[in-house]
Structure 1
C-alpha cells in the first residue's frame, strides 16, 4: 500500500486544529493570549526522540485512552514556565495544570468524530529522558509524533506539546477501510532522512576539516502554510537549489552562526573574508553537500537527479522558507519535509530542509522503500 499524502494531510489538519484548541484552552486558563505557532506530523528516529523535542527546563507526561491511546509529552522552557507560574500564582503546581488543560483541548478534537471518548490521566513529571519514547507508536525504530508549539504573548518562552500515540491504537485510528494509509510504508520515510543526514554530515566534515556532529534528523508532514515555522527568526546564510528528475525538490542548506564571521572562518580560515568570496564558498559547499545525498536518492531508483546552480541567501529562517511555501501553496495542502541538523564545531549549525514535490510522493515512497530494504540487508 502506498503512502497517500492526502491521508496524511487529514491527520495533519486534525493536529493543527487540536494545537490551536489547546492554545485556546491555555488562554482561557491564564487570561494571556496564546497562539499555536507550529503543528506538524513528524517521523522521528525513536532513539533521537528526546533530542528532537529539544532541551527542556521541565517535561510533563499525560497519558490518555479511548478513541486514541498514548501520551502527551509537554516540554516547557524556563521562560514559559516562570511566566505561567507567576500568572497563576500557584508555584510549581501550575505546570501540571497547564499540561492537563493543553492535553484535554488537543484530544477533544481527535475524539470529536469518533464514537468513543478519550479520557486523560493525571499529569506526571518526566524526569527520565528514556521514558520519552515509552509507549510511542514505533515501527522499525520510527516514532510517530504530532507536535504543536504553543507561545504566550509578552514572553519569549515556548511549550512544545508532542502527542505520541501507541502503535496499535494509532494503527486502528488511521487505517480505516477507505483510507489509503499504511504505517509501515510511512515509517520507511525515516530512512530518507537518515541517509540524507549521514551524507550531509560526511560531506560537511570532508569539505571543512571540522568534526561534524549529526544532532538529529526527521521527516515532517506539515500544512503548507506552516512551512515557515519550521525555522526560527535567526539570521541564516546558505544556498537554495532545485532538483529535477524522478523527484523534483527544493533544497535549502542553511548555516546559523553564533558568532559573526564564523561561517567564513570555517570555510576560508578568515572571518573577515570579503562578502563575495564568502558567498561563493557557502554556495559551493552547499552544492557539494546537496549533490551527495541527492545522488543517494537517485541511486535508490537507479536513475539520475539533476541539481540547479545554487542561489545564495542571507535572511531570517522564516523568510527563507516563506518563499518555498508560496511556491507549493497552490499545489498541495500538506508537504513532506526532510530535515537534518548538524553542528560544525561550537559556532556553526547547519540546517538542511528538503522539500520533495507533492506530485512525486509515490517516487519518494519508492526511494524510502528501497533505502529501508538496503538498511535491513546491512543489519
Structure 2
C-alpha cells in the first residue's frame, strides 16, 4: 500500500467536511451551537489508541459498519456525562441519570445522525456512495468494548491510519470524539485512485515512526545528562495535519522554547516548547545560582542561554539519529529562543512552511521528568517533498542497528 501527500490531503478534507456536516446536525437536533475542533489523520499503534482511550472515564458510543467506496467502522464516543446531557436536551421526561431503553435510544439516534454526517461528508469529497449499517450502542470504560472486536483496529505494535475529529459545543459540556477504522484493502484502493506521485510505501512510514522513537529516546538521554533531571520520552503519535491546524493544538499559555531549521534529507523545522514553570526548572537545574528570571516571567541572558543549550543538544540527538538511519547528512541552524503566548510561539514556522505546502507530518512527542515539572512538546515538521524522497530511500533494516550518536555545537550566550 502506497500513499502520498495528495491522497492524505484528500482524506483530511473528507474528515473536515464530515466534521462540519456532523456539527451542523448536532446543532439542529439539540439547539446548541457547535464548532469543529481539531481534525487529524493520526498514524497510531494499537497500544497508543488503548492508552489514549483508557482514561478511567465512563463512556458511551455508537458505531456503524461501512461498505461501498470505503469499508470499515465509524465510531462516535461520548463521555457518559456528555451523553446524558444530550439526552436531557432531547427527552424532556428523562431523569438523565441512567441509560434505560429510552435514553439508549436517544443517544443511538444522535450517534447515528452524527456518524451519517461524517460519512456523507466523505462521500461528497469522494463523489461516491458509502453505505451504513444499523447503529449499535456501546458503553464501557476501556477501549475493549468499543474497538476490541473490530477487525480493522491495529495490533499493539502495528501502525494504523486513524481518522480523528472533535466537535465542541459552545458554552456546554457535550464534546465527543470520532474514530474511523478503515479496512486496509479499501484504503489501498482509495490511495491508488488518489495518488498523484509514486508515493511512499506504508512500511517506510512505519519505519520512519520507529526512527522518530529512537531519536526521541536520545533526546531524553541527553536532557538527563545535561540537567541532572531523570527524564523519559513518549512518542504519542505521528499526525498528518493542515498547517493552519497546528497552532490550534498549542496550549493557550505563555510558552518558552527553542526553534531550529534543519537542512538536508529531509529538511524542515524542529521546535521544543516548554511551559514557563518547566523552563524555570530547567534553568534552575542547569545554572545552580540565582539567575535573572524576573517576577514577570522574563528570561534573562543566562536563562535564555541555558534553554538554548538544552535545545541545541536535544536537536542534535534527534536529527543525528535520523541522519544515521537515512544515511544522509542533516545540519541544523543555531537555536532561536522563543517566549510567547500559545499559537504565537509556532506562527513564524507555520508561515515559512506555508509558502511551499499546505500539510505537514508532525511528530507529537512528550519529554517528561520524574518528580519535576519538565514537560516538553516536540514538534518535528519535515518538508513534505524531502520526506517523500528520504522515505523512498529508507532501508528499514537499518533502523534498529544505526547508532544515535550526537555531536553538539556550543551555544553562545544570548
- TM-score bucket of the superposed structures, by smaller chain: 0.7 to 0.9
- Residue 36 of structure 1 is matched in structure 2 by 36
Secondary structure at the aligned position of 1:309 is classed as coil
Provide closer, same or farther for how the CA distance between residues 178 and 233 of structure 1 changes in structure 2, counting only shifts above 3 A: closer
1:191-237 superposed Cα distances (whole Å, 9 cap, x missing partner): 24322322222222332232323333321111222121232323321
2:89 pairs with 1:70: no
1:106 alignment partner, one of 112, 118, 122: 118
Distance 1:177 1:352 in 2: 31
- Residue 223 of structure 1 is matched in structure 2 by 242
- Residue 182 of structure 2 is matched in structure 1 by 165
Larger gyration radius, structure 1 or structure 2: 2
> Which structure 1 residue ranges, 5 or more long, are not aligned?
none
Secondary structure at the aligned position of 2:136 is classed as coil
Distance 2:119 2:272 in 1: 36
- Residue 248 of structure 1 is matched in structure 2 by 267
Provide closer, same or farther for how the CA distance between residues 375 and 117 of structure 1 changes in structure 2, counting only shifts above 3 A: same
- Residue 227 of structure 2 is matched in structure 1 by 208
Aligned residues: 376
> Which structure 2 residue ranges, 5 or more long, are not aligned?
294-298, 403-414
- For 1:355-366, list aligned pairs within 5 A: 355-366=381-392
- Residue 191 of structure 2 is matched in structure 1 by 174
1:123 alignment partner, one of 107, 132, 137: 137
Query: Could you tell me whether the CA contact under 8 Å between 1:264 and 1:271 is conserved in 2?
Result: no
Secondary structure at the aligned position of 1:348 is classed as coil
Give the C-alpha shift of residue 37 in structure 1: 1.8
Distance 1:5 1:146 in 2: 15
Give the C-alpha shift of residue 339 in structure 1: 1.7
2:304 pairs with 1:279: yes
1:314-368 superposed Cα distances (whole Å, 9 cap, x missing partner): 223322233322222231222111221122235231110011112313234247x
- Residue 412 of structure 2 is matched in structure 1 by none
Query: Could you tell me whether the CA contact under 8 Å between 2:211 and 2:399 is conserved in 1?
Result: no
- The root-mean-square deviation of aligned C-alpha atoms, in Å, is 3.2
Provide closer, same or farther for how the CA distance between residues 10 and 17 of structure 1 changes in structure 2, counting only shifts above 3 A: same
- Residue 320 of structure 1 is matched in structure 2 by 345
Distance 2:281 2:399 in 1: 36
Secondary structure at the aligned position of 1:41 is classed as strand
Provide closer, same or farther for how the CA distance between residues 192 and 53 of structure 1 changes in structure 2, counting only shifts above 3 A: farther
1:288-313 superposed Cα distances (whole Å, 9 cap, x missing partner): 00110101111123232111111111
Give the C-alpha shift of residue 62 in structure 1: 1.3
Provide closer, same or farther for how the CA distance between residues 186 and 111 of structure 1 changes in structure 2, counting only shifts above 3 A: farther
Provide closer, same or farther for how the CA distance between residues 323 and 18 of structure 1 changes in structure 2, counting only shifts above 3 A: farther
Give the C-alpha shift of residue 23 in structure 1: 1.6
Secondary structure at the aligned position of 2:193 is classed as coil
Provide closer, same or farther for how the CA distance between residues 137 and 283 of structure 1 changes in structure 2, counting only shifts above 3 A: same
Distance 1:330 1:121 in 2: 44
Provide closer, same or farther for how the CA distance between residues 302 and 259 of structure 1 changes in structure 2, counting only shifts above 3 A: closer
